[in-house]
């Protein structure tokens, strides 16, 4: 961006005309059906929509900011995206995108003329039309306006590694009261002026929410200024539009302040990039005080509207039935002088006077490719997995920390992709065993650095901040502008972003229906420190329920993976980082656990999504199993395998089929999810009539939700977390929830009819073992040796499972050929 003009200055009269045109189009979208879009005849009730939906109160300020940013873009040639934070600001953003001519280019059914205005009006908040907020259908938007609080964190995510980009973020004062937005002000401490772009926050203080005043609008100006100075900003306050003030005076003040703020950004970046100033700068921000509902009706039915909460949504609600309201609406619309703004002789096209304020091509904020990040996305360079794979050639069961193995591969991934991949998390990257990445990068940190600190640098590739919401929002902004990344968190606390996940999943669902939106890199969660190894932290840290929340979303968007060991985790991560437009959830343990598959076996298993592991079961080729023991998750897999080995020893003639599930969505019907198995393949693996004992990482009900359509669903018995937790030992935690190996053996005995009576003594033996283990933990404060370390693994390290395992054994089952996950995005 140049500090000096690249063209002739845009006159403020042109900016005012643009603002009036955007206001006119915004009001028209809320009220008019579009039969007479330019008011070339007197307004009639028949021209009014039967249902009035939308929000006017915040719109005039959004339009003002857009008009002035256009002026700066034209004059400076700067690269700017626009984030509309205030809820339901859709009328203004859509109006400006149409005035930019972008809307007509992307939606040819909405042409750049009178007919286009008519259709623009009719579609807004109308059946079969568009939403009332900035959404995926809105050109130039990367921030869903349906839920407040995320605009500023999205802005910061967008400018990371985008040194030429400015994210202009308009923040509503109601939105500013949300937790995520209030915390987002601190993100200036993670912005490197040498290698990142800039965020320009513009806080619009219009004073009111839906029915109440806003906090920041009711504190003294000195306190407000001090607040933002304390956050590390250089605030500028602009006030205008009250008591009938001439809008041209507001234009003059705002134009000057906006120009100063952009000059400051240029100076800050220049000093950082030439090395003359390495201190954290006070970034500019603007507080814009304007009346809520500015330029709209001042009073309605004798009550004040402008500059009150009554202007929030639809100021005139009885327009179809109340002649006085109809007359007020007509006067309101004509106050913008549409005859000056739209050229009737050019079939209603915007007047040529507006051309001077319209940036060209991709400099239009509604056409900026950073707001359609799939246009800019480059595929990741994925390093080979082989150097990091766990060698099981000497026998299965090598004990490793799976996420530490992954961390070494991520180190290579970050080295190979130095400016397009980042890791975000809440102070837990090292805790989750990914700290090998610090060999090639550091944690980004622009604040004070002490001698006792470790791995902090201005240009780090990892951002840790103790707010899951900020980590989530930063990655969303980073992905939506064309890059790649990973969000890692403790499993129990990922629920903090439940609502943000909802909104992002909905964004992806809607984006898939918008032809011009290009696919972006998938959002990948790595959830570690999971429920079965949070025994030391206690009940507050024990919750696998995020999986239930995720699978509520459309099957076209969500994917859930439970890799049973380190090599399968490597394969799963490699796959997820190559996909687009998904939310991938990977749950993997950080504690030492058994390595079960070679890398090639893991690739085969990952491609299938679920497999029969002949080497882990006891069924005989060509014969039906007596029971299926299945598992999904690392700890449940070990316990299920241990249960099978007890059965192998105690009931040698029992035919047990062992099934492991890594892709949870394979359990669902193929008509419900693209990864779902067809019924024939599912029945071949799980049988049509044999009991199935399923050891699951999460809440048991989720497996039943996914399999309720299956032939054999009535015989599926699931063990998982049942909200029994405390501070205890790892094995006692399993026993609390009946997911331990002894309980699984008892479940098999009770569900195979010929065993129930014949092996009642074995069932009692298992119950006694549970009691013995429980008593031991109460006496010694630790688990018994037979379930800890290598002694607790379901096989011996010489290469066998009860003497029957072959380290070269295949992971292929008799029916696996029917299982195919499809292409790159599968």
pLDDT digits (tens, 9 = 90+) for 57-82: 999 999 999 999 999 999 999 999 99
What's the whole-number average pLDDT of the chain? 93
Q: What share of the chain is helix, strand, coil (3-state, %, to 5)?
A: 45, 15, 40
Q: Which helix (H) or strand (E) holds 220?
A: none
∠ CA 495-497-501, rounded to 5°: 110
Q: Indicate the CATH number for domain 597-818.
A: 3.40.50.920
Backbone region of residue 591 per phi and psi (left: phi > 0; alpha: psi in -120 to 50; beta: other values): beta
**Mean pLDDT (whole number) for 461-476:** 97
pLDDT digits (tens, 9 = 90+) for 651-666: 999 999 999 999 999 9
Topology of domain 398-587, per CATH? Rossmann fold (3.40.50)
Adjacency order of strands within the sheet including 165-172? 79-84, 165-172, 198-205, 283-289, 233-239
What pLDDT does residue 634 have? 96
For residue 614, give the nearest of 413, 815, 824 by alpha carbon.
815
For residue 354, give the nearest of 788, 712, 11, 797 by alpha carbon.
11
How far does CA 581 lie from the centroid of its chain? 11
* pLDDT confidence band for 467 (50 / 70 / 90): very high
pLDDT digits (tens, 9 = 90+) for 676-731: 999 999 999 999 999 999 999 999 999 999 999 999 999 999 999 999 989 999 99
Task: Report the predicted TM-score, pTM, of the whole model to 2 decimal places.
Answer: 0.94
Q: How far apart are CA 99 and CA 372, in angstroms?
A: 19
pLDDT digits (tens, 9 = 90+) for 721-757: 999 989 999 999 999 999 999 999 999 999 999 999 9
For residue 161, give the nearest of 524, 481, 521 by alpha carbon.
481
Q: Which CATH superfamily is domain 12-368 in?
A: Thiamin diphosphate (ThDP)-binding fold, Pyr/PP domains (3.40.50.970)
- What is the token pair recorded at 549? 């929340």
The CATH 3.40.50.970 portion of the chain extends over: 12-368, 398-587
Q: How far apart are CA 742 and CA 762, in angstroms?
A: 10
What b/e readout covers 792-826, taking b as 16+ CB neighbours within 10 angstroms?
A: bbbbbeebbbbeebeeebebbbebbeebebeeeee
Indicate whether 824 pLDDT > 60: no
What b/e readout covers 348-359, taking b as 16+ CB neighbours within 10 angstroms?
A: bbbbebbebbbb
Indicate whether 157 pLDDT > 60: yes
Indicate whether 249 pLDDT > 90: yes
CA atoms within 13 A on the CB side of 825: 14
- State the distance between the two ends of the chain, measured CA to CA, in whole angstroms: 41
The CATH 3.40.50.920 portion of the chain extends over: 597-818
Q: Which residue(s) pair with 79 in the sheet?
A: 165
Q: How far apart are CA 696 and CA 721, in angstroms?
A: 8
């Amino acid at each position: 961006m140049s500090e000096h003009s690249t063209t002739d200055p845009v006159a403020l009269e042109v900016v005012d005309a643009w603002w009036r045109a955007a206001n006119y189009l915004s009001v028209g979208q809320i009220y008019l059906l579009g039969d007479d879009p330019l008011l070339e005849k007197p307004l009639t009730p028949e021209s009014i929509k039967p249902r009035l939906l939308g929000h006017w109160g915040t719109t005039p300020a959004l339009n003002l900011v857009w008009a002035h940013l256009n002026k700066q873009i034209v004059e400076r040639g700067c690269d700017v995206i626009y984030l509309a934070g205030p809820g339901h600001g859709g009328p203004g953003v859509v109006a400006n995108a149409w005035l930019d001519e972008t809307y007509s280019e992307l939606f040819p059914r909405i042409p750049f003329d009178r007919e286009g205005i008519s259709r623009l009006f009719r579609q807004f908040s109308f059946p079969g039309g568009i939403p009332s907020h900035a959404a995926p259908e809105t050109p130039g938007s990367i921030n869903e306006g349906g839920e407040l609080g995320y605009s500023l964190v999205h802005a910061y995510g967008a400018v990371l590694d985008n040194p030429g980009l400015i994210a202009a973020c308009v923040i509503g004062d109601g939105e500013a009261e949300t937790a995520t937005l209030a915390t987002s002000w601190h993100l200036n401490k993670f912005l490197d002026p040498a290698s990142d772009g800039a965020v320009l926050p513009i806080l619009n203080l219009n004073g009111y929410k839906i029915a109440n005043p806003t906090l920041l609008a009711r504190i003294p100006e000195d306190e407000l200024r001090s607040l933002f100075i304390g956050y590390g900003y250089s605030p500028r306050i602009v006030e205008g539009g009250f008591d009938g003030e001439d809008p041209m005076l507001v234009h003059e003040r705002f134009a000057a302040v906006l120009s100063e703020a952009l000059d400051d950004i240029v100076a800050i970046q220049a000093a950082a990039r030439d090395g003359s100033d390495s201190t954290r700068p006070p970034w500019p921000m603007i507080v814009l005080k304007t009346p809520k509902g500015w330029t709209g009706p001042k009073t309605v039915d004798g009550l004040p509207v402008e500059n009150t909460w009554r202007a929030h949504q639809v100021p005139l609600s009885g327009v179809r039935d109340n002649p006085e309201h109809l007359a007020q609406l007509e006067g309101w619309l004509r106050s913008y002088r549409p005859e000056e703004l739209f050229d009737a002789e050019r079939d209603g096209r915007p007047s040529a006077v507006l051309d001077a304020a319209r940036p060209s091509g991709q400099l239009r904020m509604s056409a900026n490719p950073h707001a359609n990040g799939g246009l800019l996305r480059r595929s990741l360079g994925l390093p080979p997995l082989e150097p990091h794979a766990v060698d099981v050639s000497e026998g299965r069961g090598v004990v490793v920390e799976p996420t530490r193995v992954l961390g070494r591969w991520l180190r290579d991934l970050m080295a190979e992709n130095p400016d397009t991949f980042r890791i975000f998390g809440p102070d837990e990257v090292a805790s989750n065993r990914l700290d090998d990445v610090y060999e090639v990068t550091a944690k980004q940190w622009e604040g004070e650095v002490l001698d006792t600190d470790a791995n902090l640098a201005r240009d780090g590739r990892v951002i840790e901040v103790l707010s899951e919401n900020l980590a989530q929002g930063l990655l969303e902004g980073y992905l939506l502008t064309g890059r790649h990344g990973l969000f890692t968190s403790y499993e129990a606390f990922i629920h903090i972003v439940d609502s943000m996940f909802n909104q992002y999943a909905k964004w992806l669902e809607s984006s898939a229906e918008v032809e011009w939106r290009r696919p972006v890199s998938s959002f990948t969660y790595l959830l570690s420190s999971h429920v079965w190894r949070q025994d030391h932290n206690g009940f507050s840290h024990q919750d696998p329920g995020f999986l239930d929340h995720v699978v509520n979303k459309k099957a076209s968007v969500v994917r859930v993976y439970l890799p049973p060991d380190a090599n399968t985790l490597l394969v799963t991560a490699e796959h997820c980082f190559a996909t687009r437009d998904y939310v991938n959830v990977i749950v993997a343990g950080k504690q030492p656990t058994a390595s079960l598959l070679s890398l090639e076996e893991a690739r085969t298993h990952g491609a299938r999504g679920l497999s029969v592991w002949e080497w882990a079961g006891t069924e005989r080729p060509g014969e039906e199993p007596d029971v299926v023991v299945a598992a999904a998750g690392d700890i449940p897999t070990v316990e299920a395998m241990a249960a099978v080995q007890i059965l192998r020893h105690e009931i040698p003639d029992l035919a047990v089929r062992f099934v492991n599930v890594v892709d949870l969505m394979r359990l669902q019907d193929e008509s419900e999810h693209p990864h779902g198995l067809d019924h024939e393949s599912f029945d071949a693996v799980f049988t049509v009539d044999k009991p199935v004992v399923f050891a699951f990482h999460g809440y048991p009900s989720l497996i039943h939700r996914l399999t309720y359509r299956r032939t054999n669903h009535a015989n599926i018995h699931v063990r998982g977390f049942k909200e029994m937790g405390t501070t205890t030992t790892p094995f006692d935690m399993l026993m609390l929830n009946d997911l331990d190996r002894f309980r699984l053996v008892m479940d098999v005995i009770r569900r195979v009819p010929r065993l129930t009576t014949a092996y009642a003594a074995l069932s009692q033996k298992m119950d006694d073992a549970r009691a013995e283990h429980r008593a031991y933990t109460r006496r010694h404060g630790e688990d018994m040796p037979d379930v800890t370390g290598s002694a607790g693994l379901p096989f011996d390290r010489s290469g066998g499972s009860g003497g029957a395992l072959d380290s070269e054994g295949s992971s292929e089952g008799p029916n696996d050929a029917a299982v195919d996950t499809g292409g790159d995005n599968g």
